């Protein structure tokens, strides 16, 4: 069932745009069908999508059909407690450990390459955030 919805269009640039009457400018689709509602804070965390994950879903659902979208929502509902919902809470596991075996190889003597000037501030911010979160640590290796 298709219905028309009047839309107020906000122009965000100075380029002229002409829209003719009854022009389709967008399509909408149901994202969270059958999710249910939470009526009190004491309700179970099941039957709801965490808002941060729903925000990510709405950015990426364009390539999914309705059944795939519903399946993804059900997965988010079921596993929302193990999914990282923001940058300050990265997913971690203590199950997997790894070593990089270099054998008798010599380290290659190269000077570190700095990022381009325009990207340095962002790179430093990312490195600082990852160190603060315990994901990375400063290296003192000759590698």
DSSP sequence for 114-141: PPPHHHHHHHHHHHHHHHHTTS------
61, 69 contact by CB (below 8 A): yes
CA distance 2 to 14: 33
Q: Look over the chain and give the mean of its residue pLDDT values, rounded to a whole number.
A: 73
- pLDDT exceeds 50 at position 44: no
- pLDDT exceeds 50 at position 42: no
129, 89 contact by CB (below 8 A): no
- pLDDT exceeds 50 at position 122: yes
- The number of residues making up the chain comes to 143
- Say what the pLDDT of residue 125 is: 92
pTM to 2 decimals? Answer: 0.36
Q: In this predicted model, what pLDDT tens digit does every residue of 66-80 receive, in sequence order?
A: 888 888 878 877 887
DSSP sequence for 40-100: STTS-SSS---HHHHHHHHHHGGGS-HHHHHHHHHHHHHHGGGS--STTS----SS-----
CA 8 from chain centre, in angstroms, equals 29
């Amino acid at each position: 069932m298709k219905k028309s919805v009047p839309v107020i269009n906000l122009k965000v640039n100075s380029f002229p745009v002409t829209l003719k009457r009854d022009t389709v400018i967008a399509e909408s689709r149901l994202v969270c069908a059958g999710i249910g509602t939470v009526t009190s804070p004491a309700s179970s965390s099941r039957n709801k999508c965490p808002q941060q994950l729903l925000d990510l879903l709405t950015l990426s659902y364009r390539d999914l059909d309705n059944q795939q979208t519903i399946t993804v929502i059900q997965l988010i509902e079921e596993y929302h407690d193990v999914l990282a919902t923001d940058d300050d809470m990265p997913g971690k596991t203590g199950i997997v450990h790894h070593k990089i075996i270099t054998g008798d190889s010599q380290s290659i003597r190269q000077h570190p390459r700095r990022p381009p000037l325009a990207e340095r501030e962002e790179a430093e911010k990312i490195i600082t955030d990852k160190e603060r979160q315990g994901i990375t640590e400063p290296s003192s290796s000759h590698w």
